[in-house]
């Protein structure tokens, strides 16, 4: 019988399809792993509902479980249990190293434009906090676009959800 730890280790090898430097475990989208005899049930929480990478992630998880010789069941949980706060500290560092500003913590209230515009998001390239919002939206649902006034580099910011 495969152990839950072995499943977690295997899942940690799956890269995010759109930001491959970070793994699904770093991204915090795996809510639970339960092993029962020869079957492994994974509870998986998508980042954004319109994320086109959902199917790819689900298939990759099932494949990893099969490689361990067990039968996978991947359950997609469509509730509010995933938040960008679930991204691990390692995951946040990996994001920064690949040019993405990690998300701000989820605040108690709804985000405001002033907050997003003026918060001290650090430029992942030069470390300056003199950055500004260019667009709430970006190339994928999870990203916003910002611009660094010091090194004059546009960069992507992980949206807080």
Partner 1 sequence: MNAQELLSIADDELILGWRDSEWTGIAPSLEEDVAFSSIAQNEIGHARALYELAAAALGTTADELAFDRDPSDYRSSQLVEQRRMDWAHTIARHYLYETADEIRLAALKESDDAAVAGLAAKMDREEQYHRLHARMWAERLKDEPRFKEALEELWPYALGVLAPEQRAALAERVGLPETQAVERDGHSDELGELWEEMTMVRRSIPGATW
Question: Which residues are near partner 1 by CB under 8 A?
Answer: 48-52, 77-83, 110-113, 116, 134-141, 145, 159, 161
Q: Do 26 and 15 contact (CB within 8 A), yes or no?
A: no
CB of 44 to partner 1, least distance (A): 13
Say if strands 30-36 and 39-44 run parallel, antiparallel, or are unpaired: antiparallel
CB of 142 to partner 1, least distance (A): 10
**Token duo for residue 82:** 């995933």
CB of 147 to partner 1, least distance (A): 11
Q: Which is nearer to partner 1, 37 or 80 (CB)?
A: 80
Q: Do 51 and 141 contact (CB within 8 A), yes or no?
A: yes
Q: Which is nearer to partner 1, 6 or 136 (CB)?
A: 136
CB of 78 to partner 1, least distance (A): 5
Q: Which is nearer to partner 1, 2 or 54 (CB)?
A: 54
Q: Which is nearer to partner 1, 50 or 89 (CB)?
A: 50
**Token duo for residue 136:** 């709430």
CB of 102 to partner 1, least distance (A): 17
27-57: burial string, b at 16+ Cβ within 10 Å, e else: bbbbeebebeeeebbbbbbbbeeebebbeeb
Q: Which is nearer to partner 1, 37 or 79 (CB)?
A: 79
Return phi, psi of residue 79, to 5°.
Answer: -130, -170
The 10 Å Cβ neighbour count of residue 105 is 10
Distances (CA, A) of 133 to 66, 118, 140, 144, 155: 44, 8, 16, 8, 10
């Amino acid at each position: 019988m495969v152990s839950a730890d072995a499943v977690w280790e295997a899942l940690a090898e799956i890269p995010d399809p759109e930001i491959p430097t970070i793994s699904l475990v770093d991204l915090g989208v795996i809510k639970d792993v339960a092993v029962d005899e020869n079957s492994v049930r994974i509870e998986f929480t998508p980042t954004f509902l319109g994320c086109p990478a959902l199917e790819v992630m689900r298939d990759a998880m099932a494949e990893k479980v099969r490689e361990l010789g067990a039968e996978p069941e991947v359950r997609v949980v469509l509730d509010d249990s995933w938040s960008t706060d679930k991204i691990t500290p390692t995951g946040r560092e990996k994001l920064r190293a690949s040019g993405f500003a990690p998300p701000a913590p989820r605040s108690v209230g709804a985000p405001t434009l002033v907050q997003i515009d003026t918060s001290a998001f650090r430029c992942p390239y030069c470390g300056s906090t003199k950055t500004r919002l260019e667009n709430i939206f970006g190339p994928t649902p999870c990203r916003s676009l910002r611009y660094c006034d010091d090194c004059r580099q546009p960069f992507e910011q992980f949206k807080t959800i």
